[in-house]
Each structure stands twice: as C-alpha cells, then as structure tokens.
Amino acid sequence: MSDLLIRQKGRAGWITLNRPQALNALTYDMVLQIEQALDAWREADLACIIIDAAGEKAFCSGGDIADMYASGQRGDLSYGRQFWQDEYRLNAKIAAYPKPIFTFLQGYTMGGGVGVGCHASHRIVGESSQIAMPECSIGLVPDIGGSFLLARAPGFSGTYLGLTGTRMNAADAITATFADHFVPQSDWASLKSQLTTGDLTLPRHAAPGGTLMSLRPHIDAAFHNQTLADILRDLPADTTLNRKALERNAPLAMACAVQIIAKVRQNPSIRTALRLEYRYTYRAVAQGDFIEGIRAAIIDKDRTPHWQHTSPLDVTSAEVDAMISPLSPDQELKL
C-alpha cells in the first residue's frame, strides 16, 4: 500500500496521506513525493489542490522520527539535516503556492502535519480536530514554519502554545491562525467533490467550544516576557495555563523557542521562521536534547527524559545563542 495517493480528479490535484496505521506520520519519501506533485501541478490547468488523509484519528501526527533517532545513535548528523532541509523547503512552497490549497485536518495535526496542513491557503477543521506544536516535549523547537504561525497568534498566545504544546480544538485553531474554516466532518466528502468541479465556495459555520480567547489575559500576563525564566516567574501555580508542561519539557528547547518566536514576531515571514528553526534543528542531534527526547517518548516510551538542564531556570543566554546563532553560509537553510 502506498503511503501517498496522488492523482488528478476533475479540476483538482489531490494528495491523500495514506498511513492511517501510523497516524499518517510523515516519512522522508512522503516529503519528496508531495513536493514533486506540487511542482508538477504548478502550471497545470487545475483550479485547486486538495490535501487530506486516510483514517479518522489523524491528518498527520508529525514526522516519522525513528530513522532520525537511529542515524543520530550512529553519529550520522547528515540524515536529520537533509530531512529538515527538504521538509522546510516543502513548507515554504506550500505557503507560497500559486493555486489554492485546501487541507482537511481531522484528528491529530501536529509537528510535521502542521507543516503540510497549516501553511495552506484554505485550512479546514472539524469536530475531531486537535492541532498542536509539541516539539519542546522531545527537545526540539516548534519548527516546520510553526514559529511563524505562533508569532501571528493573538497577543502572546503563540508563545504559550509553542512552549506547552497545548492542543487546540477547531475553534482555538482558527483563533490562533492555524486554521480558517470549520466545516462539520459529515460534509467533508461532498465539499471535496465540489472542489473537484472548480467551485471553491466554502460554507460558513461557527466553530464550537473555544477557550483560547478567554485565557488571553492570563496568557499575556505571563508569556509577554522575553525569557523562559521570567515566564515561569509570572506563571500561575494552578493548572490554568499548563505550568506542568513547562516543568516537564526540555528546558533548552523552550528557552530557544521563546527567542525564535520573538524574533519572528518582529519580522513575520515563513522564510525568516524556517531559517531560525533550521539553525536549531541543524544542531539538535549533536548539541541539544533531541535524541534523548525521542528515546523517552518513542523508543523506550518511559516518559522520563534526562535533559541537559534539570530546571528551566538553569539555561543561560549563551547556551540559547549557541543553538540559534547563524550557521556558516554553506550550512544555512536553502529555500
């Protein structure tokens, strides 16, 4: 069974992620094939592109990172760097694509799934949608252009979402600029058929049950700070803003994420975001907590990572600078 179904139907180019048994996790080959299809359709006589996924549980739960762990264990830094180079190029292409791209984001859309699904021009969510950027829990920063989306979220809610990995339902994803339209999932099949005719009209529905807007005053009071230590100082001790996640996630990754999101907020473009993110991911296997994060979450599944820092308060500004400072010209991300 192919991991991707790529075809033209009527006036639409149609890509279906087809690994439901793996929550449609994105492999390196899938990244390359999606890019190849989009390049082939760029000048074609098509009205739109549809990207959806098989199964009910997930649009895409993230990147398939087991191979990155294996290569890192061998001391091979090139595999992860090449994966991120090519994945980030795809993210930038989706964001700038000249034709409308409609993505249908059921269930889990996280990490690499956000990169494929949430830079599109028309991002559709439904009752089951759960969108998140949980990278700090495995020693990475929110990447795949995620810092661009987080920087655009209202107030400082993007910093909150990026550090805690809090899941957004459909309403909150729309509020946070990760999605555009709520459509009941019972209507998705007919909407996709309509799109293949070239009729790109979308129905108007209100998404139920969001909480992000009501939390904004509390979020902004803590997450406006420029350092992780100051955020923790101002964060309520109760569970309102998921303080436990900040005490559990990788301190170095969170401290870097604060700085990256702040820099992108000052210069909000996906290319700026991807270049900053790549500086971290380029170094993540050799200098960061990424391998340990994968071990604890994916390989051994003991959920007890041993981070370089025992406390978020221990990360220094010099350590942050060492992870996100410019690379040499031949190492920087090529877009």
pLDDT of residue 75: 81
Q: How is domain 4-324 classified at the architecture level of CATH? A: Alpha-Beta Complex (3.90)
Pair type for strands 4-9 and 101-105: unpaired
For the chain, domain boundaries: 4-324
* Largest pairwise CA distance in the chain: 57
Q: What is the 3-state secondary structure (H, E, C) of the chain?
A: CCCEEEEEECCEEEEEECCHHHCCCECHHHHHHHHHHHHHHCCCCCCEEEEEECCCCEEECCECCHHHHHHHHCCCCHHHHHHHHHHHHHHHHHHCCCCCEEEEECEEEECHHHHHHCCCCEEEECCCCEEECCHHHHCCCCCCCHHHHHHHCCCCHHHHHHHHCCCECHHHHHHCCCCCEECCHHHHHHHHHHHHCCCCCCCCCCCCCCCHHHHHHHHHHHHCCCCHHHHHHHCCCCCCCCHHHHHHCCHHHHHHHHHHHHHHHHCCCHHHHHHHHHHHHHHHHHHCCHHHHHHHHHHCCCCCCCCCCCCHHHCCHHHHHHHHCCCCCCCCCCC
pTM: 0.96
pLDDT of residue 66: 80
Using a 10 angstrom Cβ sphere, with 0-12 exposed, 13-18 middle and 19 or more buried, the burial of residue 244 is exposed
Q: What is the pLDDT along the chain (335 residues), one digit of tens a residue?
A: 799 999 999 999 999 999 999 999 999 999 999 999 999 999 999 999 999 999 999 999 998 888 888 888 888 889 999 999 999 999 999 999 999 999 999 999 999 999 999 999 999 999 999 999 999 999 999 999 999 999 999 999 999 999 999 999 999 999 999 999 999 999 999 999 999 999 999 998 999 989 999 999 999 999 999 999 999 999 988 778 889 999 999 999 999 999 999 999 999 999 999 999 999 999 999 998 999 999 999 899 999 999 999 999 999 999 999 999 999 999 999 99
> Other CB atoms closer than 10 Å to residue 302's CB: what's the count?
9
Pair type for strands 4-9 and 12-17: antiparallel
